[in-house]
Amino acid sequence: MTFLSAGLMACSLVCVLNLLLIFGVIRRLRQQGELLEGEQFFRTQPARTPTVAVGTSPGVFSATTTTEKKVSSETLSNGGGRTIVAFFSTDCTVCTLAVSEFAEEVARLRFDVDRTIAVVIGTEEDATSLVGQLEPVASVVVEPFTGPMASAFALHGVPGMCLLDPSGVVVATGRGVDELAVPSAV
């Protein structure tokens, strides 16, 4: 009888331990699922091209800038000139450096503010400093990483930039203005 009680106790202990391990595995799988669906996966999975491929047009979108100006796929393809579209994230350390380089390079090239669109991915509160750096040289849109512009441009990672011709077709894409080979607008 003593052996039976000891065996039953050992079996119960193993079952409880197994149950605890299963709960731990389930919790870890949920965390991994959230990472795959969330921004961390979005930023840490670099793609060869950060936006839609060269020779294609972005999808249909409509967004509002921080100055309440409407930006849409139609305004990019209205024949008004070349357009630079750049994507940055508020919690990306590389983006913080890229924003200042982007602002300097766009100012140096004298690119039209209305034909330069910077999309800051994050909340409006978090985006304040990036918006302040970008507004002098670009029309700025603040949206979540699943926002209309990020979706329309099939954004794969940040920073990401593309150059569109007057008809709205992507002619260059990269992670910096230097990769776009943008000639001066003057």
For 27-53, how does the pLDDT look when each residue is reduced to its tens digit (9 = 90+)? 888 877 766 655 444 444 454 677 888
Q: Distances from the Cα of 165 to the Cαs of 54, 110, 118, 132, 186, in angstroms?
A: 11, 17, 17, 27, 16
Task: Please tell me the pTM assigned to this model.
Answer: 0.71
Query: How confident is the model at residue 186, as a pLDDT?
Result: 41
User: 42 versus 9: which is more confidently predicted?
Assistant: 9
Query: How confident is the model at residue 77, as a pLDDT?
Result: 82
Looking at every residue in the chain, the average pLDDT score rounds to 84
What's the mean pLDDT in 105-114? 86
Contact at 8 Å (CB) between 175 and 160?
yes
Domain 47-180, CATH:
3.40.30.10
